[in-house]
Amino acid sequence: MVGLLNGRLLPLLGAVALAPAAADADEAGRYRLVAGLDLSHVDASGHPSWLEGSAGKLRYDADNDGVLLSRGFVDYGYRLADTVSAKLNAELYVEDFSSTLDLTEAYLEWRPVPRSANRYTLKAGIFYPRVSLENTDAGWSSPYTLSSSAINTWVGEELRSYGAEFAVERRPALLGGRQRIALHASLFYNNDTAGGLIAWKGWSLHDRQSRIGDGVPLPPVPQIQPGAWFDEQDPFITPILEIDDTWGYSLDAEWSLDQRLLVRLTHYDNRTDPFGYEDGQYAWETGFDQLGIKASLPGEVGLIGQWLDGYTLWGRQTNGIHAVDVGFESRFLLLTRPFDRQRVSLRYDHFEVTERDSIPLDENREIGHAWTLSWRYVLNEHVTFAAEWLEITSERPAWAYFGLAEEKTERQLQLTVRLGFSRR
């Protein structure tokens, strides 16, 4: 699994290499390429990071901060036909537990020309479920902050749909109206381990997205140690894996008024059999509902809010109780305002995990909140400067398993230069 390049990337690299020649020959502009490389100086303090084999909520810790290459991404789209596009997203991380570059999304999208006021779209492949209202830029980046909210960080860690998504969008705007209504439905596969990180690690805030080939580290919780109850679990989670051969689904309804207000309701259910187990990975039955809001406030202030409420459970039932059964909930509110080429954003996150089982030594409760203050300055199309202050205060009794304080305020300052390249 560990290596510089993953075999899946050969088609992507080939396409990227050939694209300029193809585009020159084709006046209609068939491809779009956006790439970025984040060089950062990070100063972190808190528990040792979960990505370094411990349980802290940040991506970095005091031993792993400093000057580093925090992230690279390639967002590539190619139009195969007038109404069919292929899209590939890849992320680059310099880590020792996974390959350097791998895909996060790869799908085809068909947008037939509307024959009525309804627009239909069909997407098939590997893609993010429609949860985030933050990660709208190329490479699933956020235009507001470097680190995603707790909710969308989790989406990046554990959720990916292998399947198809169908959308119908009613655009009464074409008739002079100001409203737009859209319904999306998707059927997906390969997301049976989603929920494991929420239960055993809890919420985090960072900018790392799991890639298709990734196994992301689980904290060394006692329940998965040799001889313990769940010792068949690998010390890592493979977020993208099918175990029980059952499709999951998600549905969402969205309503918007001009560019002023957008409301989205989402229901997600991976319909996983919680007794499933395969090759060191447990299957987690995970479902949630979400309310998302995006609004333009007076004074050029933008507001984004998401509120997600769900549950995840695993294992045999004893007296009606699953081996692991937790509820999770998070909400955030982000305010952002552009100042010409600069942007300032402030976000407050609240998150918690509640225990619904009573298995000893499987303590998964947590409660916490985070403040994120971010500034960015787009110097030109190739250089963006960003600075972000992130402070997470939380209480997680399971930290005592590692000899760490159960209550902790973790802080991270990240200064980033994003070198960007785009061709469209």
Partner 1 sequence: MRTAAVPIYAWLSAALLAALAAPACAAALEVTVTGPDNEPVPGVAVYVMQAGRDAAAEPAAAVMDQRGKRFEPHLLIVQKGATVEFPNSDVVAHHVYSFSKPNNFVLPLYKGDPHDPVTFAHDGIVTLGCNIHDGMLGYIVVVDTDLFGVTGADGSLRVELDEQAGAATVSIWSPRIRDRHLSRVVSATTPAISFTLDKKLRPPHDSGSEALQWSDY
> In Å, what is the CA distance from 235 to each residue of 96, 222, 346?
15, 11, 35
Considering the complex, state which of residue 84 and residue 417 has its C-beta at the smaller distance from partner 1.
Answer: 84
Shortest Cβ 176–partner 1 spacing (Å) = 4
Q: Token digits for 304? A: 């984004």
Binding-residue total with partner 1 (CB under 8 A) = 28
- The number of angstroms, rounded, from the C-alpha of 101 to the middle of its chain's C-alpha atoms is 17
Task: Determine if 114 is a binding residue for partner 1 (CB under 8 A).
Answer: yes
Shortest Cβ 270–partner 1 spacing (Å) = 28
CA distance 421 to 424: 10
Considering the complex, state which of residue 117 and residue 168 has its C-beta at the smaller distance from partner 1.
Answer: 117
Q: Taking Cα atoms as reference points, which of 277, 233, 212 lies closest to residue 1?
A: 212
Task: Determine if 77 is a binding residue for partner 1 (CB under 8 A).
Answer: yes
Q: Are strands 261-269 and 66-81 parallel, antiparallel or unpaired?
A: unpaired
Shortest Cβ 296–partner 1 spacing (Å) = 10
Task: Determine if 115 is a binding residue for partner 1 (CB under 8 A).
Answer: yes
CA distance 375 to 335: 12
E-state strands within 231-365? 236-237, 248-257, 261-269, 277-278, 281-282, 285-297, 301-318, 321-339, 342-355
Task: Pick left, alpha or beta for residue 361 (phi over 0 → left; psi -120 to 50 → alpha; otherwise beta).
Answer: left
Which part of the chain contacts partner 1 (CB under 8 A), choosing from 114-122, 339-347, 378-386, 409-417?
114-122
CA distance 324 to 313: 5
Considering the complex, state which of residue 83 and residue 358 has its C-beta at the smaller distance from partner 1.
Answer: 83
Shortest Cβ 261–partner 1 spacing (Å) = 12
- Answer for which of 79, 356, 365, 411 binds partner 1 (CB under 8 A) is 79
For tokens 């010792």, what's the residue? 231
> In Å, what is the CA distance from 24 to each residue of 19, 50, 80?
8, 46, 15
| Full DSSP string of 44-63 | EESSPBGGGTS-BSSS--TT
Binding mask 241-270 for partner 1 (x = CB under 8 A): -----------------xx-----------
Task: Tell me which long-range contacts 380-384 makes (C-beta under 8 A, separation of at least 24).
Answer: 381/420, 381/422, 382/419, 382/420, 382/421, 383/417, 383/418, 383/419, 383/420, 384/417, 384/418, 384/420
- Answer for which of 4, 21, 25, 28 binds partner 1 (CB under 8 A) is 28
CA distance 73 to 95: 15
The residues, any chain, with a CB within 8 Å of residue 164's CB and separated by 6 or more, are 122, 123, 124, 186, 187, 188
Beta-bridge partner residues of 277: 282
Shortest Cβ 309–partner 1 spacing (Å) = 26
Binding mask 159-198 for partner 1 (x = CB under 8 A): ------------x-xxxxxx--------------------
Shortest Cβ 313–partner 1 spacing (Å) = 37
| Full DSSP string of 116-161 | SSEEEEEEEEEE--TT-SS--SGGG--SS-SSPPHHHHHHHHH--E
Which part of the chain contacts partner 1 (CB under 8 A), choosing from 26-34, 157-165, 190-198, 216-224?
26-34
Considering the complex, state which of residue 107 and residue 351 has its C-beta at the smaller distance from partner 1.
Answer: 107
Task: Determine if 424 is a binding residue for partner 1 (CB under 8 A).
Answer: yes
| Residues of span 199-238 touching partner 1 by CB under 8 A | none
- Answer for which of 67, 117, 168, 405 binds partner 1 (CB under 8 A) is 117
Question: Which amino acid is located at 210 in the chain?
Answer: S
- Answer for which of 32, 47, 123, 418 binds partner 1 (CB under 8 A) is 32
- Answer for which of 116, 319, 340, 380 binds partner 1 (CB under 8 A) is 116
| Residues of span 330-369 touching partner 1 by CB under 8 A | none
Shortest Cβ 385–partner 1 spacing (Å) = 22
Task: Determine if 111 is a binding residue for partner 1 (CB under 8 A).
Answer: yes
Which part of the chain contacts partner 1 (CB under 8 A), choosing from 27-35, 342-350, 373-381, 406-414?
27-35
Task: Determine if 119 is a binding residue for partner 1 (CB under 8 A).
Answer: yes
| Residues of span 376-415 touching partner 1 by CB under 8 A | none
Interface positions with partner 1 (CB under 8 A) = 27-32, 77, 79, 82-83, 85, 111, 113-117, 119, 171, 173-178, 258-259, 424
